[in-house]
Amino acid sequence: MSVNTEITALLTRLAEAWNAGDAAAYAANFTEDADYIAFNGAHSHGREAIESSHRWLFAGPLKGSTLATTNGAASQIKPLADGAVLVISGGGSALAGGPLRDSIVSFTAVHTSEGRRFASFQNTRVAP
């Protein structure tokens, strides 16, 4: 399977888990020691923390929200080292019934025994 295919599948699983409000499935796309930086600067370290924060978000302020990607495809995939790539993608989220809030996100994706997983995530909102 090509790197592009693996990354597209990973981005698709990420959006599907978000849209289902499934914090465990969402966090499963990250490495055990991943760093996750949200649009507001909140920093979660580790899969467990990512799951915990998203469980709270999906039950509260982000309940019923949706995540959109660019058809699951990354805008750019750049090799960094053996088994590691930088992924830059567009997309955004929308609160239940609200407009899409555009973002540019970057990930570091690495090859693990579980397959490709994200080791880092940074979300930057696009100014209107």
Residues 8-63: tens digit of each pLDDT: 999 999 999 999 999 999 999 999 999 999 999 999 999 999 999 999 999 999 99
Residues 91-113: tens digit of each pLDDT: 889 999 899 899 999 999 999 99
Range of the domain at 7: 3-125
| Amino acid 52: pLDDT | 98
| Amino acid 75: pLDDT | 81
State the average pLDDT for the chain: 93
Residue 108 near residue 118 (C-beta atoms within 8 A): yes
- CATH code, domain carrying 89: 3.10.450.50
Number of structural domains found in the chain:
1
**Structure tokens given for 30:** 């990250």
